[in-house]
Amino acid sequence: MKVPVEVGDALASYVYVYIDPRNHHPFYVGKGKGNRLFSHLDDQTESEKVRRINELLAVGLEPQIDVLRYGLSDAEAALVEAAAIDLIGRPPLTNVVAGHHAQSFGRITSQEVIAMLTAKPVVVRQPAILITINQLYPSGMTPLGAADECRPKPAAVRDCALAATSAEFTRLRPRAPRSAARTSGREPERPSPGPRPGCGRRASGRSDRRPRRLRRRG
């Protein structure tokens, strides 16, 4: 399916939801413009969302796609998407993150919002790093859970990042100038190795040290 151009212009930014027709339960919320709401039907990535769609297609069904709000700005669509994801929850939604509205803190309890907005400023006297995890922060997350979200990525992801960094370094590293001898096709002459320091031998191969005589004890 495809959204006609005139319809896409009228929709502007919108928020949509994918619904399982077998039980009428929503399983994905997204936002976009133009033909974005139908793009997931051709998605080939390995994700829970795609698995659910393929599961429906395999039995001759299609997901029901509803538009929650349209005629929005990008910021308004991001806010509506985040609110819908927070309301329904993950799971049952297959969304990886809770929306992309960086200015909001997601769904939290009334006690949490009161505590947050009445908290006293903290004076940081030592060098520190502040990490924002609002997209992965569910209401009621424990301090241990928050610390776990701030941990380094798994080894596989870290290795991929290091490989990409190494490839970029190799691409940007200046090449060493080629010598005239190598350019002409001849191997450059290698200097003969000299005597190793501390080996105690002359060029002739004889030792500088004389053997010590052992004295017999009477």
Instruction: Tell me if residue 70 falls in helix, strand or coil.
Output: strand
Per the model's pLDDT, the better-predicted residue between 200 and 13 turns out to be: 13
Strand partners, 65: 18
DSSP H helical ranges for the chain: 5-11, 36-39, 48-58, 74-88, 110-117, 143-149, 155-172, 180-183
For residue 4, the SS3 value is coil
- Specify the pLDDT at position 217: 59
Among 26, 90, 8, CA closest to 63: 26
Q: Is the pTM of this model over 0.75?
A: no
Name, of 9-13, 137-141, 147-151, the range with top average pLDDT: 9-13
Query: Does the domain at residues 1-103 carry the CATH identifier 3.40.1440?
Result: yes
The reported pLDDT for the residue numbered 168 is 45
- Name which of 84, 63, 61 is nearest 72 in CA terms: 84
CA-to-CA distance for 176 and 218, rounded, in angstroms? 70
Omega of the bond prior to 92 within 30 degrees of 0, cis?
A: yes
Compute how many other C-beta atoms are within 10 angstroms of the C-beta atom of residue 82.
26
User: For 19-39, how does the pLDDT look when each residue is reduced to its tens digit (9 = 90+)?
Assistant: 999 999 999 999 999 999 999
Geometric angle at alpha carbon 141, from 140 and 147, rounded to 5°: 160
Q: Give the model's pLDDT for residue 115.
A: 86
- The whole-angstrom separation of Cα 76 and Cα 14 is 9
Q: Which of 13-17, 26-30, 133-137 has the lowest mean pLDDT?
A: 133-137
**Are the CB atoms for 21 and 13 separated by under 8 Å?**
no
Give the mean model confidence (pLDDT) for residues 132-158: 62
Tens-place pLDDT, residues 120-130? 988 889 898 87
Instruction: Show me where the domains of the chain are located.
Output: 1-103, 105-118+133-166
